[in-house]
Amino acid sequence: MIRFLSETEYCDTIPLLTACFGEDPEFIRDYYGDASVPGDVLHCRIAVKEVDRKIVSMVHLKPVTAVYDHAPEDRRTLPVTYLMCVATDPAYRHRGYMDEVMHFVTDALLSEGAPWCFLIAVDRQIYRHLHFIHDWDLTPEELELLYADDGLTKASARLLNASHMEYPDRILSGFVS
């Protein structure tokens, strides 16, 4: 089953996060928030693939704001989605589960009218067949804002509703929180 989790289920993804990316208690606390503090929840959506009620693949959809500078006097912003924490349990890899989750996510974003989405991947070639083909360099400030792992400096975008936006690799001038 592929679905979006409810906010009360977000912490159910922590075991998969640590299995795929290692255990970093500070990141987990900063990123997931403190469940004991009202309103301190992860500000994103999480899509998952479950097998026998176990979360085996996930993608976090984090809203960010892209900044476009068409000209010095024409600066615009646009909400876009950053796909992060893209992970599949090592025991369930090479079965097409991540492709299923990514199709679910991009179909949802497309139906919502999202112009494009992007990710930062260890190996960008893995996502080319899913149409993440527009690459650009990120600034150190953006890398920090986007929780990029050390050594990863490029983002890859997929255009969803290109009819009402310009290509991100030509006019994107940054992200803001």
Read off the CATH number of the domain in which 62 is found. 3.40.630.30
Domain count, the chain: 1
For 150-166, write each residue's pLDDT tens digit.
Answer: 788 999 989 888 655 55
Each residue of 87-121: pLDDT tens digit? 999 999 999 999 999 999 999 999 999 988 999 99
The pTM (predicted TM-score) of the whole model is 0.86
Q: Which domain holds residue 142?
A: 2-176
Give the whole-angstrom CA distance, residue 107 versus residue 114. 10
